[in-house]
A and B are shown apart, each in its own frame.
Chain A
């Protein structure tokens, strides 16, 4: 079962839908970020902000998730790049 990653900031330009579905999503946050980098390299090699994944965090609606947090199948997460509000 896939996990859905909602995209924010510069990552919204990664797809037309502002989300990415990763197949077989179970694993740690660290694993999911690695798979996101792989997905980007495979599907959007032209994406100029791909290196941002390393500097980004994954979150749910309540909190930012630590790198060791285990993600379950079917979870919906958000990919948050470096911020610049205010």
Chain B
């Protein structure tokens, strides 16, 4: 069963097994700010054909979907604390098997000015890589597969402050 998008007023996040359509991402942000926004920044991460010298033919993403969507929403909310509560964001991440060239993650940010749009967009992708419970397995030309090494998640008790998530 597909998980529902988390549609708050200015943040849309989704972890999905269906192909990400970049046009949908752009259209979801396009009229953000109702004329008050002069900047939109987008990042689309795509599957590369080479990694660490090996020829990649596909990747698959696994995710703890409820927790991943919660954390994507938290990351998006943090950008609005850091760079202004008028920001609008869309953050989509794939699960399942993807061919080379397919979009694995899509981020869109709408803001009054370009500086915060660029910064927020960069922040989101960097935080996803460290905090989202998502894992990547690579499939190689020679038939071998490997789970990509990653970042250990923060393990502070709920409610405690942490320096893990500084902008």
Contacts and interface: CB of A to CB of B under 8 A. Distances in A.
B147 A49 contact: yes
Contact of B68 (A57, A65, A85): A85
Please classify how large the interface on chain B is, using the bins under 10, 10 to 19, 20 to 34, 35 or more.
35 or more
B54 interface: no
Given A83-B131, A86-B45, A86-B134, A68 B157 contact: yes
A82 B158 contact: no
B6 to A, nearest CB: 14
Given A9-B135, A85-B128, A86-B45, A61 B152 contact: no
A68 B61 CA distance: 30
Given A59-B64, A66-B156, A81 B150 contact: yes
A8 interface: yes
Nearest to B68: A85
Interface string B103-142: 0110000000000000000000100111111111000000
A83 B132 contact: yes
Contact of A80 (B66, B129, B153): B153
Please classify how large the interface on chain A is, using the bins under 10, 10 to 19, 20 to 34, 35 or more.
20 to 34
A82 B125 contact: no
Contacts of B104: 86
Interface in A35-50: 49
B70 interface: yes
Interface string B40-77: 00000100000000000000011110111010000000
Contacts of B157: 65-66, 68-69
B149 interface: yes
Given A57-B153, A62-B67, A78-B64, A83 B158 contact: no
Interface in A72-86: 78, 80-86
Contacts of A82: 149-153
4 smallest CB-CB distances across A and B, nearest first, come from A85-B134, A66-B157, A9-B135, A84-B150
Interface of A: 8-10, 12, 49, 55-57, 59, 61-69, 78, 80-86
Interface of B: 45, 61-64, 66-68, 70, 93, 104-105, 125, 128-136, 147-158, 160
